[in-house]
Structure formats: C-alpha cells, structure tokens
Amino acid sequence: MSKSILVHVTGTDRPGITFGLLEILASAGADVLDMEQTVVHDRLNLSLLVDIPESASTVKDLLYYGWQKSMAIEFEVVEAEVSTPPSPIRHAVTVLGRELSAAALAGVADAIAGGGGNIDRIAQLSRTPVFSYELIVSGGDAGDMRSRLLQSSAHHGVDVAIQREGLGRRAKRLVFLDVDSTLIQDEIIDLLADEAGVQHEVVAITASAMAGELDFTESLRLRVALLAGLDQAALDRAQAKVRLTPGARTFVRTLRRLGYTTAAVSGGFQFFVDKVGAELGIDHVFANELEILDGVLTGQLIGPIVDRKRKAELLVELANREGVPLEQTVAVGDGANDLDMLATAGLGVAFNAKPIVQEAADTSVSVPYLDAILFVLGIRREDVEED
C-alpha cells in the first residue's frame, strides 16, 4: 500500500538540495508523480507530488534532511487520482512595462480569473529594458481572457500578450520586420522629401492616402515623382539621418544567435533597406526600387510595388523557401499596410502601432524598445545578455 503526499520545500537555495531530496525518495521506493521548482531571489520553492509506501520512514527522513539543510518541509496527504483528467488548454500571458506595479499585475490576474483561467506558474523574464513577466494559465476562455486583458492593459498602461502555450509558440523560426517606424525610427520618404524641398507636398499626399482618397500604390508613385532630380549625394545625406529603433541591434543579433531567420520588408526603398539590413546582419531584405539614371532619380519606380498585399505574399514566399510553416513565423509592423502581413504570420505583433493595427494584431507592444518583443517570444533576459 502507498499514499500520495504533496511535499513543499522552502529555504535558501544552494547546489545539491534537490538531489538530496530525490535521493531520499528513491531510497524509499517512492514514485514522483509531479514536481515543480522555482527560485525567487535565492529562495527555493519546490513542490513534489509523490506516492510513498506506507511502511517507509520517508517523512521522518525528509524532516531530518530539512533540519540538516535549514530547509522548511511541509506535507499534505492528498487523494490519489483514479484516472488522469485531460490536460486543460494552456496559454502564456506576457506582461510588459517600463514599470509593473502591484495594481497592474493584480489587474492582469483579475482579467485571467474573470475569463475562467487559473495561473499555474509565474516567471520574471526581464528587468531591463522593461520589466516583463510570463504567466502560464490553464483553462479559461481565450477570447474572454483576451478581451479582459486588453481592458486591463489600457487601464494600467502596460502591454499584455496572450498566446496558446505549447511547442508551436517555442518553435518560431522566421521573423519578418517592417522597416519605417519599426526597425528604424524614421520614414524614408520624409527624409527624401526634406532633401528635395517638397515636404509639404509629400505630407498632403500622405494625408490623402490616410483618408482613403488614394491607395498606397498611387500615393507612393505621386510622392516618388516629386523626388525627380535628386542625386546620389542627396540619397547619402538622407541615409546618414536614418536612426535605428532602440533595441534593434540587440533584437536582430539575439534572433540570429538563437537560429531564427530574419527579414526586413518595406514600402520604402531598396537603397536604404539594403544598408540597414547589412548593418544589422538581416538575412533577407525587400523594398521598392527607385529608378536612377546617370546618378539622378527619375521620379519613377522599377518593378512591382511592395504594398500591403505584396508584404504578405513575400512572407509566404520566404517561409516556403526557408521551409518554415506559417504558424512558425512572426511579423512585426506599425501601419495599415502591414495588416495583411500581420494576419498571415503565426504571430502578428503591432509595434508602437496605429490603433487600427493594435486592434487587428495578435498582440501589441507599446514600449519604445524593439528588443522587448523577445520577451513576447518567451526569451529571457539572460538569454539576450549572452550576446
């Protein structure tokens, strides 16, 4: 005969504690049914569900071991399960913020509980450049929890992402990045307009496109036409003004070190995207080609336009070429012309995005650091700092 006991162990963590406990259980012929361990600020919290032969002196041996190691050990007899119930669906909830107050975390916990979910585990992912926590949640209605989490995140000014937990989440392999206002802080067309002295005209055309009076392709051709006559020196001056988004280097470098394929896609121009891609070591770059004759812009474009539809097509084409299922792809963008790409990817991330994009994307990140997206992927800060 045996009995099921839940063993709780707490105390200052140091090497060999877990081994010593398991060695005692092994000597008693106990079966370990479940086990979970966390360490918070050098404090060990270990729980084990074990089946122990009733004739064994295991409890006494564990208590003596705890006394030797200055560990607190508590026991709880539990009912043995006749059958193993089906495992509930689990979700990973990631919380990001420059600061994460108790009120903000309480709001997240309340949203999860309100949606019927139960928090099984909480782990801190980072303290810099943002604070982030990952909560593993079992059960609950994903749609209801997402809605409640969005309300809570808006109220407390933090970012919250919810994803299905499992191997698929951990197996992302291709990251597709928008460029203007995502990978870089600038809009390339605005830098070129400044060089050509046509800022007001370009802004007016952009406003018409935003109002739905022009589609992206038509508005792009009109704006490029205003750049006719710019020479190579003007392009170089505009390139020198390009500012990478904070965290861009760390983001791309970490992804590459962890084996991800990276790509940059832009409704802007190949001349600039090539240089940004080379500087960061991005594997693939896609953008529009400016026509240059005798070292001067003609005001025309060469080849098909990289627009909203084409961005999504390029994501699919590259995923196929790399042998990556779409569910293992991530797309990051900020504007309406990124919507199809974000919807096509396995995970679409709105980065400091327009409201329409935030509402449509799988998750939204509003802090100004691109590398904060690593935490949404479940990557810990210590993995980033190995670079």
CATH code at 268?
A: 3.40.50.1000
Judgement on whether residues 359 and 212 belong to the same structural domain of the protein? yes
Residues 240 and 339 reside in one and the same domain: yes
Q: Residue 86 has what pLDDT?
A: 63
Same domain, 106 and 64: no
**How would residue 33 be classed by pLDDT, with cut points 50, 70 and 90?**
confident
Do 234 and 318 reside in the same domain of the chain? Answer: yes
Do 157 and 196 sit in the same domain of this protein? no
- Res 208: pLDDT: 83
Which of 39, 54, 78 delimits the end of a domain? 78
Are 296 and 332 within one domain? yes
Active site positions, annotated: 178, 180
pLDDT-derived band at 92 (thresholds 50, 70, 90) equals very high
Q: pLDDT tens digit string along 257-290?
A: 999 999 999 999 999 999 999 999 999 999 999 9
The domain total for the chain is 3
Separation between Cα atoms, residue 305 and residue 277, nearest integer Å: 19
pLDDT value at position 82?
Answer: 47
Sign of CA dihedral 146, 147, 150, 156: negative
Q: What are phi and psi of 355, to 5 degrees?
A: -55, -40
Backbone dihedral angles phi then psi of residue 100, each to the nearest 5 degrees: -125, 100
User: Is residue 187 located within the same domain as residue 274?
Assistant: yes
> What does 235-287 look like in DSSP terms, one character per residue?
HHHHHHT--BPTTHHHHHHHHHHTT-EEEEEEEEEHHHHHHHHHHHT-SEEEE
In a domain, 83, yes or no: no
What DSSP character marks residue 382?
A: H
Per-residue confidence (pLDDT) for residue 186, from 0 to 100: 94
Chain mean position to CA 89: 20
Indicate whether 149 and 197 sit together in one domain. Answer: no
DSSP character string of 124-166 = EEESSSSEEEEEEEESS-HHHHHHHHHHHHHHHT-EEEEEE-S
Q: Tell me: pLDDT of 19 over 50.
A: yes
Q: Which domain holds residue 37?
A: 2-78
Of 108, 134, 165, the one marking the end of a domain is 165
Same domain flag for 223 and 270: yes
- Look at residue 28 in the predicted model and tell me its pLDDT: 87
Phi, psi (rounded to 5 degrees) for 248: -65, -45
